[in-house]
Amino acid sequence: MSRRPIIRIRVVLHEGAALGPGKADLLAAIAEYGSIAAAGRSMGMSYQRAWSLVDELNRYFRSPVVEATRGGAGRGGAHLTSVGREVLATYRSIEQKATKYCGAEVERLRRLAPPEGPDISAPK
Amino acid sequence: MSRRPIIRIRVVLHEGAALGPGKADLLAAIAEYGSIAAAGRSMGMSYQRAWSLVDELNRYFRSPVVEATRGGAGRGGAHLTSVGREVLATYRSIEQKATKYCGAEVERLRRLAPPEGPDISAPK
């Protein structure tokens, strides 16, 4: 939790389709693990959930972002296509720019919301 | 839907507390309507849901962001406190800066995800 970015971005692609931190992290994990199932597991996600998100993502874009290769006995790998790599890199660039340019405002909000606020986890 | 910003921002204030477009729009509607119930209604939200979100917001920050004045017979008004106005203005400023500085990247993503994509609302 603590490593998550402080600003989370959701880009609305078109009606009913958005790319946010969950799908972006899943793409990154697929690139890392070379497998949809392993990527999902690394995020505490069920196999079905991970496949369903990949299926959604593949429908969002002009061409698929993830390609799976199924081998025998249900085993197989997956990798990002060039479109998938571009989607992920572009999303990360948005996150980085938002963090950079909105840093002062985010700090102002966080100063107004101290973790030791009156009703949250106050020890006494 | 179509008037919603293309970039939606969620600012993580601290563990378990985040400010996103829903809560920001609710604050804006309370400022506009002068009533939590009317603000919720304007967003298609139940009375209970609107009150619950306001209660959450009031706990997040150093001091309440919304003050309600209950009159007789369950009627009453509500307004943003000075902290509430600062929170909303700061959030809107983050939205505007993210939209401004990330515009090129957002356009790139949207060009990769045409609404006439192969599996979404294609007429044939």
Residue B1 has pLDDT above 50, yes or no: no
Identify all chain B residues contacting A120, using CB atoms and an 8 Å cutoff: 14, 16-17, 59-60
| Residue B119 near chain A (CB below 8 Å) | yes
pLDDT in tens, A14-58: 888 999 999 999 999 999 999 999 999 999 999 999 999 999 999
Q: Following CA atoms A72, A74, A76, A80 in sequence, which dihedral angle do they give, to the nearest 10 degrees?
A: 140
Count interface pairs A-B at CB distance under 8 A.
Answer: 151
Residue A5: per-residue pLDDT: 72
Sequence-separated (6 or more) residues with CB below 8 Å from residue A81: A63, A64, A65, A66, A67
How much is the average pLDDT of B76-90? 95
pLDDT at B120: 46
Q: According to the model, what pLDDT value does residue B23 have?
A: 97
Mean pLDDT taken over chain B: 88
CB-CB contact of A113 with B60 (8 Å)? yes
For residues B117 and B9, what is the distance between their CA atoms, to the nearest angstrom?
25
Closest to A101 (Cβ–Cβ): which among B59, B97, B105?
B97
Render chain A in DSSP notation, one character per residue. Answer: -TTS-SEEEEEEEETTEEE-HHHHHHHHHHHHHS-HHHHHHHTT--HHHHHHHHHHHHHHSSS-SEEEEE-GGG-EEEEE-HHHHHHHHHHHHHHHHHHHHTHHHHHHHHHHS-TT-TTSS---
- Distance of alpha carbon A84 from its chain centroid, rounded? 13
What is the sign of the dihedral through the CA atoms of B94, B100, B104 and B110? positive
The pLDDT score that the predictor gives to residue B5 is: 72
pLDDT tens per residue, range B49-67: 999 999 999 999 999 999 9
Q: Is the pLDDT of residue B114 over 60?
A: yes
Q: What is the largest CA-CA distance in chain A?
A: 59
Mean pLDDT, to the nearest integer, of B90-103? 96
| Chain A residues within an 8 Å CB radius of B23 | none
Q: What is the mean pLDDT of residues B77-106?
A: 96
Cβ B1–A18 below 8 Å, yes or no? no
Residue from A116, A112, A110, A88 nearest A30 by CA: A88
Phi-psi region of B103 (alpha: psi -120 to 50; beta: other; left: phi over 0): alpha
Residues 20-39 of A with CB under 8 A from B: none
Residue ranges per domain, chain A? 11-112
> Is B122 buried (19+), middle (13-18) or exposed (0-12) by CB count in 10 A?
exposed
A61 with B117: Cβ contact below 8 A:
yes
pLDDT at A112 over 80: yes
pLDDT of residue A115: 75
Minimum Cα–Cα distance from B8: chain A residue: A10
Q: Which of B90, B89, B78 is nearest to B53 (CA)?
A: B78
Encoded amino acid at A72, one letter:
G
pLDDT higher than 80, residue A4? no
CB-CB neighbors (< 8 A) of B106 in chain A: 11, 94
Taking 80 as the threshold, does the pLDDT of residue A2 lie above it?
no
Confidence of residue A123 (pLDDT cuts 50, 70, 90): very low
Collect all residues with Cβ–Cβ distance below 8 Å to A2 and sequence separation of at least 6: B15
Test the B interface: residue of A19, A81, A94 with most B CBs within 10 Å: A94
Instruction: Categorize the per-residue pLDDT at B112 as very low, low, confident or very high, splitting at 50, 70 and 90.
Output: very high
Q: Give me the percent of chain A exceeding a pLDDT of 70.
A: 85
Residues A47-105 have pLDDT tens digits of 999 999 999 999 999 999 999 876 545 567 999 999 999 999 999 999 999 999 999 99
Tell me how close the Cα of A21 comes to any Cα of chain B, in angstroms. 10
pLDDT above 50 for A124: no
CATH number of A11-112: 1.10.10.10
Q: What pLDDT score does B43 carry? A: 97
Q: What is the pLDDT of residue B2?
A: 40
B22 vs A1, more confident: B22
H-only helix segments in chain B: 21-33, 36-42, 47-60, 82-101, 103-112
